[in-house]
Amino acid sequence: MKLLAIETATEACSAALYIDGAVSWRYQVAPREHSRLLMPMLDELLAAAQLGLAQLDAVAFGRGPGAFTGVRIAASAIQGIAFGADLPVLPVSSLAAIAQGMQREFGADRVLAAIDARMSEVYWGAYRFGADGVPECLGDEGVRAPEHVPLPTGSGWCGAGSGWDTYADVLQQRLSGKLESWQADRFPHARDIALLAAHDFTHGLALAADQALPVYLRDKVVGN
């Protein structure tokens, strides 16, 4: 299986190429530079693997939630590629990608992913990992004031994402007794988008390009 994945929903811009379980990637934290960085990243990955778009099985993107401009960049870029190369698309939650990164690097099996949504709110999702190593969202992803995020069941949860940087004190107070640790410097990564997309592809969840839509979670525009 060969998949190309991109993620631009936050300050980090990244691209990844998945080939039969092996993943190569490009990643850079560069706010407001995503449009400039993204296509060169994709070109470098494909050139290094000596692949053309027509040789891919599908493309994937971080569908959000996140910064409105960043999510829109990813959706527009991947739809353009998919239409041009006649490829199916796999939209992947950017919050789930944060959780996947925590599981991949640290073995975390309970992750509270939070992206700073500005306007005194966070994009929020609680994820638990099963035997298949794929994050299951408990309840719905949503945008909420940090003092009102849903309380997860049980303890031993790990927080991750930029929301934990901006609202660490409020979130720790809200989640007292349930939180084991947290890491603020975690952004969704195309490497994890690719891993989750590969799982979805094998389960027949690929969509036509015009059906692969971004997720904003609220109507208000949140800039980068």
Residue 91 backbone phi and psi in degrees, to 5? -80, 135
The answer to whether position 118 is within a domain reads yes
Here the CATH number for the domain that contains residue 43 is 3.30.420.40
User: Residues of the chain whose pLDDT is less than 50?
Assistant: 220-224
Q: What pLDDT was estimated at residue 64? A: 97
140 lies in the same domain as 206: no
Spell out where 130-213 has E strands: 135-137, 142-144, 157-160, 179-183
Q: Are residues 86 and 105 in the same domain?
A: no
Owner of token pair 């990844």: 16
Is 107 inside a domain boundary?
A: yes
Q: Does the residue 223 lie in any domain?
A: no
Q: Measured between alpha carbons, how far is residue 103 from residues 110, 151, 156, 159 in Å? A: 8, 21, 14, 12
DSSP conformational letter for 177: T
Rounded to the nearest angstrom, the gap between the alpha carbon of residue 202 and the centroid of all alpha carbons in its chain is: 19
Amino acid (one-letter) located at 106: F
- The reported pLDDT for the residue numbered 166 is 94
Which candidate, 55, 53, 45, places its Cα nearest to that of 22?
A: 45
The SS3 call for residue 80 is helix
DSSP-derived letter for residue 207 is: B
What is the domain count for the chain? Answer: 2
Is 220 within the bounds of a domain? no
> Quick check: is 47 in a domain?
yes
Domain annotation covers residue 38: yes
What is the pLDDT, as a whole number, of residue 219?
Answer: 56
CA atoms of 167 and 46, how far apart (whole Å):
39
Q: Check whether residue 141 and residue 131 sit in a common domain.
A: yes
Domain match, 55 and 31 both: yes
Separation between Cα atoms, residue 161 and residue 114, nearest integer Å? 5
Q: Are residues 6 and 83 in the same domain?
A: yes
Residue 218 within any structural domain of the chain: no
**Residue 104 belongs to what domain range?**
94-183
In total, the chain counts a number of residues equal to 224
Please give the pLDDT value at position 222.
Answer: 38
pLDDT of 137:
97
**At 131, is the secondary structure helix, strand, or coil?**
coil
Do 29 and 18 belong to one domain?
yes
